[in-house]
Amino acid sequence: MPQITVDYSERLADGFDRSAFARDLHTAVVEIAAARPSACKTQFRRTEETVVGPDTEGHAVVHVTLGLLAGRTEETKARLTEAVLELLRQYVKPAEGLMLHASAEVRELDASYRKYEE
């Protein structure tokens, strides 16, 4: 915990500093949501095709989902998603002519969540 997934349009690949984003996101999650630094895990998933409304051209999407154990206040979750959006503004530079649609959400992991490390 936390489990972080970043889905992003392929068109953003060259203008998205994913390593720096993850590093600073992990710092924010530790500071805002009291996570342990060593527990922060981020996976990036590049999507080949993005459709916004009726259009396939001129749009790019990045959506960040943060899965946290239950117990954070709504205020903490809102602060965290605002921090994510600010980091996206900093680390995602879409190519000229692309409209960026950026979003983030915090979800509570189900009580059945388990993990192991080897």
What's the pLDDT tens digit per position in 87-110?
999 999 998 989 999 999 999 999
- Is the pLDDT assigned to residue 16 strictly greater than 80? yes
- Is the pLDDT assigned to residue 56 strictly greater than 80? no
Q: Tell me, what's the pLDDT at 53?
A: 87
Q: Where are the alpha helices (DSSP H) in the chain?
A: 18-33, 74-91
Q: Which amino acid is at 81?
A: T
Q: Which amino acid is at 10?
A: E
Q: Tell me, what's the pLDDT at 51?
A: 87
CATH number of 3-108: 3.30.429.10
Whether 92 and 12 have beta carbons less than 8 Å apart is answered as yes
pLDDT tens per residue across span 19-36: 999 999 999 999 999 999
